A and B are shown apart, each in its own frame.
Chain A
Amino acid sequence: MLYRENGQFKSSYGEDQQMLPILQDRRVMFGLLAFAFFGVPFLASDYLFLSILIPFLILTLAAIGLNLLVGYCGQISIGHAAFMSVGAYAAYNLALRVPQLSFLVVLVLAGLIAALVGMLFGIPSLRIKGLYLAVATLAAQFFMDWVFARVKWFTNYSHSGSVSTAPVELFGWRLDSPPEKYLFLLGVLVVFTVIAKNLVRGHLGREWMAMRDMDVAAEVIGIRPVYAKLTAFAVSSFYCGVAGALYGFIYLGSWEPLAFNLTLSLNLLFMIIIGGMGSLLGSYFGAAFIVILPIVLDQVPQMFGIAMSTATTSHLAFMIFGALIVFFLIVEPHGLARLWAIGKEKLRLWPFPH
């Protein structure tokens, strides 16, 4: 009743192929975007920005990157924080050594460097697949952790190995208050989401999905596995590299050698499992879930007046994460995005389901 697409006729290819073909979807999307750009900056508190919205936006970008590789191309990676760290350190060194570069250029270059490294570690995917690849990406994780902890040049010979960045400045606009950071990140995320959406429905995305569904068959119908897999690694690492640079520059400001460790990699993987593999919307859901859950777990016992040590809460969070992962895999392997789709389907038929 509320969500009904009959009567909406498409009379040109352009209309048929638009990103949101249904009128209601377009309205909701524009409403959401308008609220996110013009409403949230005035309504949200600094706490909400700094501990939820900013990490949510950055991690969503990284989750989209990982989803392109795992969800769309079927190549599993448990080392994607490594590519985030490549992006972060590349951006740090570019900003430090070539100070006249604009931050946007730094961001893109950092992404490109991460893409190169990602392709390098993606080469094994041409010979191995599935779980073997998981171990290969673990190699990327531990190797990159080590490189940035030990090679002094990358951290500009700082004694503790930690680096700190100057506040980001764009065309004379200094991003120092939380709402400004939020608006910039939101803009970046929207642009990258639109690019990703169009990548996955274009020929590249179709090649990736063919590789995911059955690689041998894909090869038989003329898809080049080298090209498909390496582009997936490159694009995915590009996204993660950009996300890493943003994470370092805008969210953390200064970070220690192991800021991008295995835990972050696994968290990214959990985001796309819980959110939904092979779904961009799922990346948003998953990132929101993983960012908000620890905060909720922290707050709920306090609300009921139960005093818990931070250690206990973090262990409980671990347990709940673990249990939820298993739960989602069993009950809804396609994640929150699938639940959303089911809800939409229900709305179409409401109030007269057959």
Chain B
Amino acid sequence: MTKHWPVISLISVLLVGLVLPLATGASPPGFYVEVLLGGLMTGVLYSLVALGFALIFKASGVFNFAQGAMVLFAALAVARMAEQMPLWLAMILALAIMVVLAWLIERLVLRPLVNQEAITLFMATLGVTYFLDGFGQTVWGSDIYSIELGIAKEPVMILEGLFQGGILVNKDDFVAALVAAALVAGLAVFFQKTATGRALRAVADDHQAAQSIGIPLNRIWVIVWSVAGLVALVAGVIWGAKLGVQFSVSLVALKALPVVILGGFTSVPGAIVGGLIIGVGEKMAEVFLGPVLVRAFDLAGGGIENWFAYVLALLFLLVRPEGLFGERHIDRV
């Protein structure tokens, strides 16, 4: 019998925190919904990066620290190539580059390290992170670049009848969320319905068993890393369009780590739900909890969204180490 009360109490504290600003009248409902939506939009992007992360972990057992660097690399590639050619062509070329990259990583990093401990593989991805950061900025340059998606950036008012003053929503945010959702749905179909998807899931369940029935491990790894590259590309383009393509993108993408912790390492739905929770949670914390903290402790400004996700993940780890949807892990000697 597992004890559920710590999980339940943590979740209820979070829920209370979520409705508190509204209940106490600290914010007008329209503004509250705006913040909520903003959080959800960011959350979708976190989910996207976390998805690439969970995919790789599931299929190859590699804790891929380089996911953020891949996002930055893809975004840089698209931004710089789009200066020379139409955007769609740049994106296709960038995708090709990501596939080549996946193949190279499999060849040069994963294959020689097969059967090593998880920590060794993790450190190898740290090396890949540094390499990609340096390589990307050497090849593509290290200024701030922009990606023009051709979507109008002006905010749109919606639901003016429901809330006083309506709600401001950025059109590009909305499109981004839609694209991300479509990608997630597409990947789900790919995993459930296609032969390759089934092979991927088989590898994820048991490497040896999968190999023994003739699934080529190496090819599966290339495919998984390519899919992760695709996800990184989409995330990079959306983020690049929103924030500009610069080094900080890879730091933001690092937030995928707490997201997968929260959702459970091996779980695709976990990555999505975790991303939404972190996105909403940190936006709420920044907007509503931040000023309270600043007043209480006399701080020099808020900025708690820098660590909120990590500390939230830490608390979750304490009460439920396997995450929301993860499989319970049993140790044997």
Contact = CB atoms under 8 A, between A and B. Distances in A.
A binds B: yes
Contact of B119 (A76, A214, A316, A322): A76
A146 B317 contact: no
A240 B137 CA distance: 32
A326 B261 CA distance: 25
Interface in A122-143: 123-124, 127-128, 130-132, 134-136, 138-139, 142-143
Interface stretch (B24-32, B214-222, B308-316): B308-316
Contact of A325 (B124, B142, B258, B306): B124
Contacts, number: 147
A134 B306 CA distance: 17
Interface in A300-354: 311-312, 315-326, 329-330, 333
B321 A127 contact: yes
Main secondary structure of the interface of A (DSSP, over half): helix
Given A329-B127, A330-B113, A322 B132 contact: yes
Given A325-B126, A326-B124, A138 B257 contact: yes
Interface stretch (A108-116, A148-156, A166-174, A190-198): A148-156
Interface stretch (B161-169, B176-184, B190-198, B294-302): B294-302
B108 interface: yes
Contacts of A320: 134
Interface in B270-315: 297-304, 306-307, 310-311, 313-314
A315 B142 contact: yes
Nearest to B63: A131
Given A132-B261, A132-B321, A325-B127, A333 B120 contact: yes
A127 B123 CA distance: 22
B297 A323 contact: no
B331 interface: yes
A273 interface: yes
Contact of A143 (B112, B310, B318): B310
B332 interface: yes
A136 B333 CA distance: 25
Interface string A76-112: 1000000000000000000000000000000000000
Contacts of B119: 76, 130-131
B131 A326 contact: yes
B302 to A, nearest CB: 8
B128 A311 contact: no
B108 A326 contact: yes
- Looking at chain A, what size class is its interface with the partner chain? 35 or more
B267 interface: no
B135 interface: yes
Contacts of A131: 63, 118-119, 122
Nearest to B304: A146
B13 to A, nearest CB: 18
A322 B128 contact: yes
Contacts of B127: 321-326, 329
B173 interface: no
Contacts of B113: 329-330
Interface of B: 63, 108-109, 112-113, 116, 118-120, 122-124, 126-135, 137-138, 142, 251, 254, 257-258, 261, 297-304, 306-307, 310-311, 313-314, 317-318, 321, 331-333
* Nearest 5 pairs of A and B residues by beta carbon: A318-B134, A322-B131, A325-B127, A322-B130, A319-B134
Given A128-B321, A214-B333, A333-B120, 16 more contacts: A76-B122, A127-B317, A134-B257, A135-B313, A143-B311, A145-B306, A146-B304, A146-B307, A311-B142, A315-B137, A315-B138, A319-B130, A323-B127, A325-B124, A326-B131, A329-B123
